[in-house]
Amino acid sequence: MENQSQNLPTQSQQKESQQKSWEYAWDLWCTLSIIGIWPRYIEPNLIFTRKIALPIQNLPKRMSGFSLLHISDLHFSASTSKNFLQKISRKIEQLAPDAIVFTGDLICYGTLENREVLEEWLKTIQAPFGVFATLGNHDYEKYLSLDDDEQFVIEHDKIPPLFRGFSRLLGTKVERHTEPVKGPIQPLQELLDMYKNAGIRVLHNNNALIGFGMNRINIVGLGDIMANQCIPEEAFKGLSPQLPTIVLSHNPDSFPLLKLYPGDLYLFGHTHGGQVNLPLFWKKITPIRDKSLKSGLHQRGDKTLFISRGLGTTFPFRWFAPPQMTLFQFVPKPTVTERAWKPIPEISKIVSDRAQCPTRTSSASKHIE
């Protein structure tokens, strides 16, 4: 027994070996990154899952614990592998969400390639309370982007923003054939038909209720802002304002148009989390005006925003921005009265300090009761 315990690694030895493993992993990452293998072949195929318990005001009782999976930006094309699609399906199956939402850019450049493969895969995406989708700037009849003056334009070339970023970094300018967006661009009809055949409901400036009986929440979907199709006055029409509201929109730049409407959680995609998420460089390749909304959770007053890094890219190359899906689990938000009476540590400490003071004991007890 004595010999055995002598052979066991001590806590500091364990820590040291853990530290060494991290160092080896870091060296490996650096080596693979330098020769381009990591960002080109490894990171774009990793899918990270984030789980967020989100307090929601006025959440109907029986909707407590309801899970909503947010996915975005698949950018399906002929080069999307079946393995990657299966990986997404497996993850969704493991998470078993109550409902699924997709925030746009299902395809690339308004072009539907390998239609059968995409259609088959879409049919596997199911959830008991439904699957809902909005459209992104790649899902319309024309491909929309942001020009160098931050104006929305129809882009006639299919050049990934990543290449334009690299060329700008190298001091060479890629000529762009664009025209300004003058009126609403229409959604790609083939894509809408495909969604319909797969049983996925597209919310393009309209809303729906999810849940059952009296226990429901609103879900609102906007058209894309670059396509001149983000029309909140239509999207929020007929909404039940007493119910919690989840807002789906592809581009986080649409938030200023939406913030005056009811909304508890705003879900966006579009940014790919910077995609090549290196200081300064990501800003050159990410077509958004508000660079503060690159990815993750943000709070704007009482509104929660989440920007997904998405699943795919127009060109598979990612650094420090791996693909992502996010599972939200709704929990009731304590009301103001409940929050006031919650024995937070600071108050407990004040009360116990006061309790030790004989002259103030009675008043302190009364206050807390």
Q: Which amino acid is at 190?
A: E
Q: Which is nearer to Fe ion, 245 or 286 (CB)?
A: 286
Site size for Fe ion, by CB under 5 A? 2
**Among candidates 297, 204, 307, which has minimal Cα distance to 252?**
307
**Among candidates 226, 334, 319, 246, which has minimal Cα distance to 276?**
319
* Residue 155 binding Fe ion, by CB under 5 A: no
Residues 92-121 that bind Fe ion (CB under 5 A): 105
Residues 281-340 that bind Fe ion (CB under 5 A): none
**Among candidates 324, 259, 256, 316, which has minimal Cα distance to 289?**
256
Q: Which is nearer to Fe ion, 92 or 108 (CB)?
A: 108
CA distance 170 to 141: 32
- Of 15-23, 45-53, 70-78, 213-221, which segment contacts Fe ion by CB under 5 A? 70-78
- Nearest approach, Cβ of residue 72 and Fe ion (Å): 8
Sheet holding 48-56, edge to edge: 48-56, 324-332, 67-71, 99-103, 131-134, 201-202
Q: Which is nearer to Fe ion, 143 or 266 (CB)?
A: 143
Q: Which is nearer to Fe ion, 43 or 105 (CB)?
A: 105
Q: Which is nearer to Fe ion, 206 or 308 (CB)?
A: 308
- If one counts every other C-beta atom within 10 angstroms of the C-beta of residue 46, the result is 11
Write out the two tokens for 106. 């299902």
CA distance 35 to 26: 14
Distances (CA, A) of 296 to 124, 166, 272, 309, 326: 27, 25, 11, 8, 10
Encoded one letter per residue, x for contact with Fe ion by CB under 5 A and - for no contact, window 18-57 reads: ----------------------------------------
Q: Which is nearer to Fe ion, 105 or 264 (CB)?
A: 105
Name 209's Cβ contacts closer than 8 Å, sequence gap at least 6: 216, 217, 218, 219, 240, 243
**Cα 61 to the center of its chain, rounded Å:** 26
- Nearest approach, Cβ of residue 75 and Fe ion (Å): 6
Distances (CA, A) of 311 to 18, 73, 129, 261: 31, 6, 22, 29
- Nearest approach, Cβ of residue 350 and Fe ion (Å): 51
Contact 222, 267 (CB under 8 A): no
Q: Which is nearer to Fe ion, 202 or 239 (CB)?
A: 202
Q: Which is nearer to Fe ion, 232 or 287 (CB)?
A: 287
- Nearest approach, Cβ of residue 165 and Fe ion (Å): 14
3-state secondary structure of 19: helix
- Of 14-22, 26-34, 69-77, 79-87, which segment contacts Fe ion by CB under 5 A? 69-77
Among 73, 155, 224, 253, binds Fe ion (CB under 5 A): 73
- Nearest approach, Cβ of residue 316 and Fe ion (Å): 13
- Nearest approach, Cβ of residue 128 and Fe ion (Å): 28
CA distance 125 to 82: 14
CA distance 333 to 349: 25
- Nearest approach, Cβ of residue 60 and Fe ion (Å): 33
- Nearest approach, Cβ of residue 78 and Fe ion (Å): 17
Q: Which is nearer to Fe ion, 67 or 286 (CB)?
A: 286
Residues 219-258 that bind Fe ion (CB under 5 A): none
- Nearest approach, Cβ of residue 53 and Fe ion (Å): 27
Residues that bind Fe ion (CB under 5 A): 73, 105
